[in-house]
Amino acid sequence: MAQDLPDPVVPAEAYDEAYYLEWNMGYEEWKADPGAPIHGTYSYALLRAQLQPGEVLVDVGTGRGELLALAMQKGAARAVGLEYSEAAVALANRTVAAHGVTAEVLLADARAVPLPDDVADLVTLLDVVEHLSPEELHRALCEARRILKPGGRIVAHTFPNRLIYDVTYRVQRLLVPGRARRWPKQPRGEVEAMMHVNEQTRRSLARALRRAGFADVHVVHGEFVHDEMVPLADAKARTLVHRLAAHRPTRALGRADLWARGRA
């Protein structure tokens, strides 16, 4: 890692093997067989990114490396994964080998990418944004723009949309009698509370991308409705989350994830 960077807000040691085998999306499929069919979210990400045969992908925060394997299977000329967790690098190399493809996995900090300028057609950050402080995110996005070819694309996915916890959960908990006693004050789980240091909204994520110099920025709500934040016994509250998600004016209060794209 670059010597002049301040220590990361969330240390690399927090992302141990147990984290990638118990929390990252697709962990159940991976634990059953690292070479098994890959969780559909990764295919959906490449579909949104419009990956074309012959393109170069750089996946920032590649985790277990499923996106790298899938990109090579879909005809990418080169796929490079960046991780500052040694545990993730080891798992990603296992994934790549299990799928019988050639991809590169680098132990590196997203704020100082060890790649030359204008090397990538596509940079992805899947569930990385929320783990970086605002200044860390800015540096990482600037690095992403630097390594992208002119006109290259960035695609990011982040969970949660901050409003579902800070507005939807909080208002339901405080306005209905009795819920303040039954519902936890903190809806985030232990891992989220520790690692999610920069949850986003549509506006904040778009602003971050534009600040880093990206053009044609577009941020939309995903399809995931996170009703698990509401205690199981409160069926009406869970139903309300789905109703909020179903209507455009209240979508931000019900849909839990965000997809963003931009061009260098």
From CA 134, how far away is CA 100, in angstroms rounded?
37
223 contacts 254 by C-beta, under 8 angstroms: no
CA angle 133, 44, 258 (to 5 degrees): 35
Strand duo 148-158 + 258-263: pairing: antiparallel
Tens digit of each residue's pLDDT, the chain (264 residues): 455 899 999 999 999 999 999 988 899 999 999 998 999 999 999 999 999 999 999 999 999 999 999 999 999 999 999 999 999 999 999 999 999 999 999 999 999 999 999 999 999 999 999 999 999 999 999 999 999 999 999 999 999 999 999 999 999 999 999 999 999 999 998 999 999 999 999 999 999 999 999 999 999 999 999 999 999 889 999 999 999 999 999 999 999 999 999 999
pTM: predicted TM-score of the whole model, two decimal places: 0.95
Question: Would you kindly state where each structural domain of the chain is located, as residue ranges?
Answer: 12-263
Q: If you search the block for the tokens 């800015």, which residue do you land on?
A: 138
- CATH architecture for segment(s) 12-263: 3-Layer(aba) Sandwich (3.40)
226 contacts 252 by C-beta, under 8 angstroms: no
Helix (H, G, I), strand (E, B) or coil at 53: coil
